[in-house]
Amino acid sequence: MRYLFEEYAFDTDRRELYRGAGVVSIAPQVFDLLEYLIRNRERVVSKDDLINAVWKGRIVSDAALTTRLNAVRAAIGDTGEDQRLIKTLPRKGFRFVGPVQELQVPPGEAAADELVEPSQFPPVLPDKPSIAVLPFVNLSSDPEQDYFADGVVEDITMALSRFPWLFVIARNSSFTYKSRAVDVKQIGRELGVRYVLEGSVRKAGNRIRLAGQLIDAETGTHLWAERFEGPIEDMFDLQDDVTSGVVGAIAPKLQHEEIKRARRKPTESLDAYDYYLRGLAKARWSKNANSEALQLFYKAIDLDPHLACAYGMAAWCYTRRKALGWMNNQARESAESIRLARIAVHLGADDPIALCMGGYALAFVAHEFDDAAAFMDRALVVNPNLARAWMLSGWLRVWRGEPDRALEHCARAMRLSPLDPSMYYTTHGAMAYAHFLASRYDIASSCAETAMRDNPTFLLSICISAASNALAGRFEQAQKTVLRALECNPDLHASNLRDLAPFRRAEDFAIFAKALRDAGLPD
């Protein structure tokens, strides 16, 4: 049997490990250990399993086992820190997690020096969503548009590469298909990707039109399509708009498709990232769904203690529990939220989800506003195309008392994700608070109404609507809205209002609380 993974071929009949066409030197016990891990890659193997299989039950120290595992990792270009191929699961065991392709070797196959290189076999799909951005076709006779289209593709490729959960084929590989008529399914097989983005550019008069479409390379199904158009004199601004629009649309679409895949998997074959994806699907606004999501994120953490985004999302679940009055033990659950958030930002220095979710939890629960802003800013540097990070940053600027910056960040979130319903109402809620801080109560009320129309139970929007109407002199409307808030959370009082709205500046909170008291919120 020959196992292919990354650039390696592991031949159990010849008892040889190849990297490309070259043989990797590997000790017999190290070979046996790697073979056992690969053969049993569908499950976690314990220390005792390894000792029984490789050492035939002889007494082996933990240090000896660790030394052999380190040798296995070194042979296949992995490390105990990266754990890209072999994961250590504390108190449970070990698992080979790299994608593997099995190849039956016919009897009497050619000698090792004539071995077919792994690169001649189709690459195995990565263990995360994968995409290739193909060169856009120039449909006009103007060769200048060729350069423009290439620039758009390069920008989109780089922007998508900033999502750590996404595997993006490098531009140089994608551009080998330029001017070639190749079936998308064939491209998916040759590049080892699940999704392909293709498009075209056309000049019509003094305007440029770009069209893009996202395709599932396994089935040929079209998942998304959009057109972008602008005047030719604004070519470079249009290029930026196209990049933002495409990335803002397809990144959530890809994640949605991966969540559907994770849901279809049998429970016994789920790994940490599958549990994380299932948690994302459950992380909604209902109390029960929030609790289910939290348990799924904990399961992901249990399987992979280094999965920073799972810590961030678990902290986010506790943040929602506090905001909506769902906590059973506020002191204990708040402390757990802070613990998870700090691990998220520590492990996820280059993970924008871990940074923005962990950072927001530190602001909302721990009131560590300056640290939260630093983590949020880092998330936006790592991935300036992540709409959720801009939205949460808008809320953070609200709590910090920075209305102009909050509106700026909300506008960026809306531009990146204009069709996401949850993004729409949460961002309009943050805009309502920003206008409230700037004493624009009519505009604040209008933004709040928009948010409430899309989610009638969004408590933050309900409260800012009541407060804005009260300060605008519309007391009857304000009183009706406060009653609506109390229907959503009967335990809401002026005395615990800071749990919902943690304004940093005392004067901001005082104005907000007084307006709600005037509208009928009980002390």
Range(s) of the chain covered by CATH 3.40.50.10610: 130-261
The conformation of residue 135, written as its DSSP 8-state character, comes to: P
300 or 14, higher pLDDT: 300
In this model, does residue 118 exceed pLDDT 60? no
In this model, does residue 5 exceed pLDDT 90? no
Tokens representing residue 63 in the block: 């240090």
Predicted confidence band of residue 332 (pLDDT cuts 50, 70, 90): very high
Strand partners, 11: 2, 16
The conformation of residue 325, written as its DSSP 8-state character, comes to: T
Superfamily name and number for 399-523:
Tetratricopeptide repeat domain (1.25.40.10)
Range(s) of the chain covered by CATH 1.25.40.10: 266-384, 399-523
What share of the chain in percent tops pLDDT 70?
93
User: Which pLDDT belongs to residue 22?
Assistant: 65
Predicted confidence band of residue 109 (pLDDT cuts 50, 70, 90): very low
User: Which pLDDT belongs to residue 111?
Assistant: 37
User: Which pLDDT belongs to residue 402?
Assistant: 96
Question: Strands 8-11 and 2-5: what pairing?
Answer: antiparallel
Degrees (nearest 5) of the Cα angle 470, 504, 483?
A: 30
Task: Give the model confidence (pLDDT) of 164-179 as tens digits.
Answer: 778 888 777 788 888 7
What is the CATH topology of the domain spanning 130-261? Rossmann fold (3.40.50)
44 or 245, higher pLDDT: 44
Length of the chain: 523
For residues 75-87, give the mean pLDDT.
84
Q: What is the pTM of this model?
A: 0.66
In this model, does residue 116 exceed pLDDT 80? no
Distance, in Å, from the CA atom of 50 to the CA atom of 423, rounded to the nearest integer, reads 48
For residues 77-102, give the mean pLDDT.
85
For residues 292-321, give the mean pLDDT.
93
Range(s) of the chain covered by CATH 1.10.10.10: 2-120
35 or 150, higher pLDDT: 35
Predicted confidence band of residue 419 (pLDDT cuts 50, 70, 90): low
Nearest Cα residue to 105 out of 214, 213, 13: 13
Q: Specify the long-range contacts of residues 42-47, CB closer than 8 Å, at least 24 apart.
A: 42/269, 43/95, 44/89, 44/92, 44/93, 44/94, 44/95, 45/93, 45/94, 45/95, 46/92, 46/93, 47/93
Task: Give the model confidence (pLDDT) of 485-521 as tens digits.
Answer: 999 889 899 999 999 999 999 999 999 999 999 999 9
For residues 105-122, give the mean pLDDT.
46
104 or 82, higher pLDDT: 82
CATH 1.25.40.10 fits 266-384, yes or no: yes
In this model, does residue 1 exceed pLDDT 90? no
Task: Give the model confidence (pLDDT) of 368-415 as tens digits.
Answer: 999 999 999 999 988 887 888 999 999 999 999 999 999 999 998 887
CA 417 to chain centroid? 14
User: Which pLDDT belongs to residue 285?
Assistant: 67
Task: Give the model confidence (pLDDT) of 455-480 as tens digits.
Answer: 898 899 999 999 999 999 999 999 99
In this model, does residue 115 exceed pLDDT 50? no
User: Which pLDDT belongs to residue 451?
Assistant: 92
In this model, does residue 108 exceed pLDDT 60? no
User: Which pLDDT belongs to residue 75?
Assistant: 87
Average pLDDT score, the chain: 85
In this model, does residue 302 exceed pLDDT 50? yes
CB distance 165 to 348 below 8 Å? no
Predicted confidence band of residue 112 (pLDDT cuts 50, 70, 90): very low
Task: Give the model confidence (pLDDT) of 138-164 as tens digits.
Answer: 887 777 677 777 878 888 888 887 787
User: Which pLDDT belongs to residue 11?
Assistant: 86
The CATH number of 2-120 is 1.10.10.10
Residue type, 422: S
